[in-house]
């Protein structure tokens, strides 16, 4: 009889762990677990008690094959994946994916440009990893979404929400308040071209051009941008104020552009938009803002993001396989052991 190997605890590192859904996980292994012990005719039954924080895993079967090895598992939520701040209303900022002009460093304000293939992939990858029930950006926790009216932002929003679009019907507003800075005469130019153009006009003889301070000829001034962002922030606070105790989810999502998002962060924190706060915001990236101590008057940058607590009823709507008790895992494990023992005799 070939040996039946039972491993009581998962090794610390096997390979690359990939999160698929709240209930299904795979591990792509570079080498088979306990390869010295497992032959092509043997099967291992492994139990992992804490595969990821806040979840327990049922025992799962490992099939030995040459090449790439996958370990499927069904996980059982224990409703512990949370922290004190997870219930505080949050504001998610999502930058649109790459465009040809963004790729070449050209200022893109009111010009409507489509995402590149790379840009669409950037957003889709972020959506797969970060958007969904019990993930970083949970559509079921959104009370409102603000989207820039530019095509690149609208496309990004659609790719980001994907199958969860129906969850936020009636909660979406397209608004110029979160549109990209209107660059006016500088639309389509690179930073260096703008500086050269201004010097030809006799400008910036004492100080270098700074868009945060000087704005754009024929476009928006820093005050105009500040005014519309402050208007939007006030609107968001009105929406989130009733939920500051964290009794109900009340996240807000903004889908827009790189420069305006950086301006928004400064205004959210109470800084003027020409405040020298260095930030990087990659195409397709997600940033998070919130409130300190659940206080509407203490807007904060959310550094170090924890996943929100799960809503089992919500998750069940989206995943066909959902188990509610650890006891079922124990029973399943016992049945699997019995079946294996009979097969391998």
Q: Is the pTM of this model over 0.85?
A: no
Q: Are residues 319 and 295 in the same domain?
A: no
Query: Is 17 within the bounds of a domain?
Result: no
Query: Is 295 within the bounds of a domain?
Result: yes
Does the annotation flag 109 for ligand binding? yes
Please pick, among 25, 96, 257, 261, the residue that the annotation labels catalytic.
96
CATH number at residue 244: 3.40.50.1240
- Segments forming the whole domain that contains residue 97: 91-301
> Under DSSP, is residue 334 helix (H, G, I), strand (E, B) or coil?
helix
Query: Is 251 within the bounds of a domain?
Result: yes
Q: Are residues 252 and 337 in the same domain?
A: no
Q: Are residues 199 and 337 in the same domain?
A: no
Cα atoms in the 13 Å half-sphere on the side-chain side of 218: 9
Query: Is 184 within the bounds of a domain?
Result: yes
Q: Are residues 116 and 249 in the same domain?
A: yes
Question: Which residues on neighbouring strands pair with residue 15, listed in sequence order?
Answer: 29
16 is catalytic: no
Query: Is 2 within the bounds of a domain?
Result: no
Which pLDDT score is estimated for 345? 61
Query: Is 217 within the bounds of a domain?
Result: yes
Alpha-carbon gap, residue 315 to 306, rounded angstroms: 18
Alpha-carbon gap, residue 175 to 95, rounded angstroms: 15
Does the annotation flag 108 for ligand binding? yes
Q: Are residues 262 and 282 in the same domain?
A: yes
Q: Are residues 296 and 317 in the same domain?
A: no
Please tell me the chain's helix, strand, coil percentages from 3-state DSSP, rounded to the nearest 5.
35, 20, 45
- Give the number of domains in the chain: 2
Q: Are residues 279 and 245 in the same domain?
A: yes
Query: Is 25 within the bounds of a domain?
Result: no
Q: Which of 169, 143, 137 is nearest to 238 (CA)?
A: 143
Please pick, among 180, 220, 257, 261, the residue that the annotation labels catalytic.
180
Block means of pLDDT (10 residues each) for the chain, length 345 residues?
Answer: 37 33 34 37 31 34 35 34 64 98 95 97 96 94 98 98 95 98 96 94 91 96 98 98 90 98 98 95 95 94 71 49 44 62 65
Residues 6+ apart with CB under 8 A from 67: none
Q: Are residues 155 and 224 in the same domain?
A: yes
Query: Is 280 within the bounds of a domain?
Result: yes
Does the annotation flag 182 for ligand binding? yes
Q: Are residues 175 and 321 in the same domain?
A: no
Alpha-carbon gap, residue 100 to 264, rounded angstroms: 24
Which pLDDT score is estimated for 341? 66
Does the annotation flag 79 for ligand binding? no
Q: Are residues 263 and 320 in the same domain?
A: no
Does the annotation flag 294 for ligand binding? no
Which pLDDT score is estimated for 338? 65
Which pLDDT score is estimated for 306? 63
Q: Are residues 261 and 131 in the same domain?
A: yes
Q: Are residues 252 and 288 in the same domain?
A: yes
180 is catalytic: yes
């Amino acid at each position: 009889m070939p040996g039946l190997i039972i491993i009581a605890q998962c090794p610390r590192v096997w390979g690359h762990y990939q999160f698929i859904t709240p209930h299904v996980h795979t591990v792509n292994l570079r080498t088979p677990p306990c390869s010295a012990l497992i032959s092509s005719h043997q099967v291992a039954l492994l139990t992992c008690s804490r595969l990821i924080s806040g979840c327990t895993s049922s025992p799962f079967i490992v099939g030995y094959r040459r090449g790439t090895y996958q370990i499927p598992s069904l996980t059982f939520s224990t409703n512990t994946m949370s922290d004190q701040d997870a219930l505080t209303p949050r504001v998610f900022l999502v930058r649109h994916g790459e465009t040809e002009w963004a790729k070449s460093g050209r200022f893109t304000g009111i010009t409507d440009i489509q995402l590149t293939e790379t840009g669409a992939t950037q957003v889709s990858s972020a959506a797969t990893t970060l958007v969904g029930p019990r993930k970083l950006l949970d559509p079921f926790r959104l009370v409102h979404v603000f989207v820039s009216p530019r095509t690149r932002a609208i496309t990004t929003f659609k790719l980001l929400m994907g199958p969860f679009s129906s969850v936020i019907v009636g909660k979406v507003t397209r608004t110029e308040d979160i549109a990209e800075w209107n660059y006016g005469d500088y639309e389509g130019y690179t930073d260096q071209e703008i500086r050269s153009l201004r010097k030809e006009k006799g400008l910036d003889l004492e100080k270098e051009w700074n868009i945060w301070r000087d704005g754009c000829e024929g476009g928006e001034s820093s005050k105009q941008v500040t005014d519309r962002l402050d208007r939007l922030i006030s609107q968001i606070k009105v929406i989130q104020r009733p939920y500051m105790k964290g009794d109900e989810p009340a996240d807000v999502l903004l889908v827009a552009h790189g420069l305006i998002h950086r301006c928004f962060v400064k205004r959210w924190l109470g800084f003027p938009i020409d405040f020298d706060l260095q930030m990087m915001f990659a195409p397709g990236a997600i940033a998070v803002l919130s409130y300190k101590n659940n206080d509407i008057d203490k807007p904060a940058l959310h550094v170090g993001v924890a996943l929100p607590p799960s809503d089992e009823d919500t998750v069940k709507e989206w995943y066909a396989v959902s188990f509610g008790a650890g006891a079922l895992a124990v029973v399943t494990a016992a049945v699997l052991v019995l079946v294996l023992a009979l097969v391998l005799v």
